């Protein structure tokens, strides 16, 4: 309390000095003895707003794949440029297919031989069945012929499976991109030998969409859980809460995304929990490993109070707004400020919706002295800027001061 009084006295002295400098037009002027300086006043602008919490995080690829061969052999050709963007299925490498083509041809021949043997066995079985009906052969000969047919058919199926496997080996000599994304450089040259499932030939990372990964404190996690229980803000585990991101060289939050994952436990060492958002990246500007600043929807919508930045006076420790009472006496109110919305500053506490705030001529007002208020109106200088209430949640509105105390 003592600190607050000292701050108000400091602001009073500063405003007094400014008033003397600004209104020293003489005894007959508005700043002279007995004069009440004119000021412009208006009640705070009240509109639905939301709180946003800021985090630092980095981008990660949704898909990150080491490209490995499915067959062993010698590299015959490389069909991409290091670092280029590749589409899923695009040809990257060709492994010498000739040994695999030869094995496939042998498998096709084996399948044909098995098919011919099966046809012969079927013919013999049909003849044996006719002879059995004429009682010219024994039942045992008939059973043997039928068994031979079944074995021949099984041999045909086995030969067909082998042929299919060898055909796949030939297809696998053409190494293609498993996903669309940005390629790394080649890890080998033409003529190198690669081993199936082991040799890393290059890597590919997907870019659109892309993940933004961050960590939040236990306190913020609890805040979100309480809001979810109260029904004012749904949990990001069940609702794609909106996020906005800005990069290191950007002044505004230009990237839009949605939450798509919250981890199932807090890290015991750091006391934080991992979260993730998904962001569209059609131009490929966002790259895995890049850092950014993200703000996440932190509350449900509530009626917030906004005043111009120029109506706030700053001392060494506090932010102060000048308010004119019913007796036209100015008073300094210490305020807690929030973010900028539509070019106006959110006031979390220190003002009431009906307070007449000095928005013009604040330098002429001194706490405890009379002023001549002139009615004004707060007009947003930059509509549509700053965090806006999303459409996905419509909780009951409450007073800004009440919402502030509830937090």
Tell me what pLDDT residue 33 has: 40
Q: Does domain 53-62+206-297 have CATH number 3.20.20.70?
A: no
Q: 2-50+301-406 architecture in CATH?
A: Beta Barrel (2.40)
Overall average pLDDT of the 349-353 stretch: 91
Q: Is the dihedral of CA 97, 98, 104, 108 positive or negative?
A: positive
Each domain of the chain, given as residue ranges in start order, spans 2-50+301-406, 53-62+206-297
Tell me what pLDDT residue 192 has: 95
Phi, psi of 323 (to 5 degrees): -120, 140
CA–CA distance from 311 to each of 42, 166, 276 (Å)?
10, 79, 38
State the pLDDT confidence band at 394, using cuts at 50, 70 and 90.
Answer: very low
Q: Which residues contact 54 (CB under 8 A, 6 or more apart)?
A: 293, 294, 295, 296
C-alpha 212/C-alpha 116 separation (Å) is 61
Strand partners, 154: none
pLDDT of residue 5 exceeding 50, the answer is no
C-alpha 250/C-alpha 325 separation (Å) is 42
Overall average pLDDT of the 82-100 stretch: 95
pLDDT of residue 133 exceeding 90, the answer is no
Question: Which of 30-39, 45-54, 296-305 is predicted with the least confidence, judged by mean pLDDT?
Answer: 30-39
Q: What is the pLDDT of residues 144-169, one digit of tens each?
A: 888 998 999 999 999 999 999 999 99
Tell me what pLDDT residue 212 has: 97
pLDDT over 70 percentage in the chain:
86
Tell me what pLDDT residue 233 has: 87
C-alpha 270/C-alpha 12 separation (Å) is 45
State the pLDDT confidence band at 387, using cuts at 50, 70 and 90.
Answer: low
pLDDT of residue 400 exceeding 50, the answer is no
Q: Which residue has the higher pLDDT, 82 or 7?
A: 82
* Average pLDDT value over all residues in the chain: 84
State the pLDDT confidence band at 402, using cuts at 50, 70 and 90.
Answer: very low
pLDDT of residue 73 exceeding 90, the answer is yes
pLDDT of residue 338 exceeding 60, the answer is yes
pLDDT of residue 137 exceeding 50, the answer is yes
pTM of full prediction above 0.85: no
State the pLDDT confidence band at 384, using cuts at 50, 70 and 90.
Answer: low
pLDDT of residue 140 exceeding 80, the answer is yes
Question: Which of 54-68, 107-121, 307-321 is predicted with the least confidence, judged by mean pLDDT?
Answer: 307-321
CA–CA distance from 145 to each of 115, 136, 341, 353, 378 (Å)?
16, 14, 89, 100, 101
State the pLDDT confidence band at 390, using cuts at 50, 70 and 90.
Answer: low
Determine which helix (DSSP H) or strand (DSSP E) holds 94, and give its type and residue range.
Answer: strand 91-95
**Cβ neighbours of 338 (radius 10 Å):** 21
Tell me what pLDDT residue 189 has: 94
pLDDT of residue 396 exceeding 70, the answer is no
- The answer to whether the beta carbons of residues 92 and 78 sit under 8 Å apart is yes
Overall average pLDDT of the 74-87 stretch: 94
Q: What is the pLDDT of residues 47-64, one digit of tens each?
A: 888 888 899 999 999 999
């Amino acid at each position: 309390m003592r600190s607050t009084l000292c701050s108000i006295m400091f602001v009073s002295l500063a405003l007094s000095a400014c008033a003397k400098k600004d209104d020293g037009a003489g005894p007959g002027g508005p700043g002279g003895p007995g004069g009440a300086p004119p000021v412009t006043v208006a009640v705070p602008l009240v509109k639905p707003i939301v709180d946003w919490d800021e985090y630092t995080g980095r981008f990660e690829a949704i898909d990150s794949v080491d490209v490995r061969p499915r067959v062993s052999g010698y590299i015959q050709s490389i069909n991409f440029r290091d670092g280029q963007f590749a589409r899923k299925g695009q040809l990257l490498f060709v492994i010498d297919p000739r040994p695999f083509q030869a094995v496939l041809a042998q498998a096709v021949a084996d399948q044909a031989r098995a098919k011919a043997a099966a046809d012969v066995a079927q013919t013999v079985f049909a003849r044996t069945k006719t002879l059995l009906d004429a009682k010219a052969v024994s039942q045992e000969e008939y059973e043997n012929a039928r068994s031979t047919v079944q074995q021949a058919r099984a041999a045909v199926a086995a030969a067909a499976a082998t042929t299919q496997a060898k055909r796949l080996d030939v297809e696998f000599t053409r190494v293609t991109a498993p996903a669309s994304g940005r390629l790394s450089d080649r890890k080998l040259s033409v003529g190198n030998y690669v081993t199936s499932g082991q040799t890393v030939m290059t890597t590919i990372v997907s870019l659109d969409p892309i993940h933004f990964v961050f960590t939040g404190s236990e306190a913020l996690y609890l805040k979100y859980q309480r809001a979810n229980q109260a029904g004012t803000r749904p949990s990001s585990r069940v609702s794609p809460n909106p996020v906005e991101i800005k990069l290191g060289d950007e002044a505004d939050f230009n990237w839009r995304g949605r939450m798509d994952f919250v981890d199932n436990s807090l890290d015991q060492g750091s006391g934080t929990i991992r979260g993730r958002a998904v962001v569209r990246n059609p131009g490929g500007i966002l790259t895995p490993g890049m850092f950014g600043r993200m703000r996440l929807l932190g509350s449900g919508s509530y009626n917030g109070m906004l005043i111009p930045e120029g109506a706030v006076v700053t001392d060494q420790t506090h932010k102060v707004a000048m308010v004119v009472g019913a007796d036209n006496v100015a008073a300094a109110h210490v305020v807690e400020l929030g973010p900028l919305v539509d070019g106006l500053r959110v006031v979390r506490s220190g003002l009431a919706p009906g307070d007449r705030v000095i928005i013009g001529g604040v330098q002429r007002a001194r706490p405890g002295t009379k002023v001549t208020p002139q009615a004004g109106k707060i007009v947003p200088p930059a509509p549509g800027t700053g965090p806006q209430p999303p459409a996905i949640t419509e909780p009951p509105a409450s007073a800004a001061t009440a919402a502030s105390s509830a937090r």
